[in-house]
Amino acid sequence: MQSVRKGGVLGESDSPRQAANRSYALPKSMVEPVNLILSSSLTTVRTLKAQLKPIEKAIATELRATSPQTLQTIPGLGPVFAAGIVSEIGDVRRFEREESLAKFCGLTGGAISRGVRGRG
């Protein structure tokens, strides 16, 4: 959803100050509550970001402690996503063939996953 401003839609390149300057003015009775909500939301976002750093570091450490992960060689696939995939699939050697793994992941037809029959 995009915010509406005078004269068009806010762009992603707009800074918060630019967006505020071009936005419709709030009724005076709403300024303080909106500022309080925005301040609280910003504090929450900053807190969550700070909490993510040690969690991501712990995940990366645990992933390195397991057997070497080919997943980590894929550009853009960081340790958090790789760990998620590893936790879902488990030991890939349990699959006799690549097709078995693809079927397990729901990437090929014929597999029944979560009560829905796959295509094919």
Domain count, the chain: 1
pLDDT tens, residue by residue, 52-74: 999 999 998 988 887 667 787 88
pLDDT tens, residue by residue, 32-41: 999 999 999 9
- Is 4 inside a domain boundary? no
- Is 83 inside a domain boundary? yes
Q: What are phi and psi of 23, to 5 degrees?
A: -85, 165
Entry pTM: 0.51
Structural domain including 60 reads 28-117
Contact 104, 95 (CB under 8 A): yes
Contact 119, 109 (CB under 8 A): yes
